[in-house]
Amino acid sequence: MKTIVNNWHHISVYLAGITAVLAILLPIGMVQKLLLASVSILFLHFFEEFGWPGGFPYMGVKVLLGKDELDTSKWNCNHLSSMFGNWTFLVMVYLLPVFLPGVRFLTIGALIFNFAELLMHSVVFNVRLKTWYNAGLITAVFGLAPISFYYFFVVFNPADFFWYDYAIAAVYFIVFFLFCFRSPLYWNLGKKPGFEFNEQSAFGFMRK
């Protein structure tokens, strides 16, 4: 079990390949294909953040929590909490609308959140860290963002949505973000022994 959890970001690469094949071969609508494509890229996004080059845990602690702490034992996050948070968010925000295409706010929420990833990785992290690159930037810029740009410029029909769909979508992914990455469950999982980050996952190129 610990071996699987501590390699969840490597397993994500294989899941990315499987999801990409499904997006291509399944007889589903274009919106569902774009959602599956987003899922596939997100799996690669996790590998970029925690596998190679890695370093997202330190980025998160420094930028999102405001702590410049190099002692990983004080972070209260590990591979177990990271796997729980990232995979749960992926399932609830990105994969669920594939199976419920008629629930409008789920679809629009996932494809808008791609832009949130773009904003965080291309602007927020780079500005705060004073860098040109951060773990997750490549997959956000060249994967998630193009999918959503294609959706909103080619596929999207504003007449299919009401104003409250956007409001519900925002509340939905904010609630699940807090549950996946800020809840007592997340922090408690982050304290479990045996799932510590290795140097590559924790710091990547970020260690001074």
45, 144 contact by CB (below 8 A): yes
> How many structural domains is the chain composed of?
1
121, 49 contact by CB (below 8 A): no
State how far the Cα of 133 lies from the Cα of 40, in Å rounded to an integer.
22
The pLDDT tens digits of the residues spanning 97-123 come to: 999 999 999 999 999 999 999 999 999
Q: Does any domain span residue 121? A: yes
pLDDT above 90 as % of the chain:
92
Q: Does any domain span residue 208? A: no
State how far the Cα of 29 lies from the Cα of 74, in Å rounded to an integer.
46
Q: Does any domain span residue 147? A: yes
| Residue 113: per-residue pLDDT | 96
Specify the 3-state DSSP secondary structure of 191: coil
| Residue 205: per-residue pLDDT | 87
Q: Does any domain span residue 62? A: yes
The pLDDT tens digits of the residues spanning 18-34 come to: 999 999 999 999 999 99
State how far the Cα of 68 lies from the Cα of 62, in Å rounded to an integer.
5
The pLDDT tens digits of the residues spanning 128-152 come to: 999 999 999 999 999 999 999 999 9
State how far the Cα of 95 lies from the Cα of 35, in Å rounded to an integer.
7
On the question of a cis peptide bond just before residue 53, with omega within 30 degrees of 0, the verdict is yes
| Residue 68: per-residue pLDDT | 86
State how far the Cα of 171 lies from the Cα of 165, in Å rounded to an integer.
10
The domain in which residue 117 lies consists of: 2-203
Q: Note the maximum CA span of the chain.
A: 51
The pLDDT tens digits of the residues spanning 44-87 come to: 999 999 999 999 999 999 998 888 888 998 899 999 999 999 99
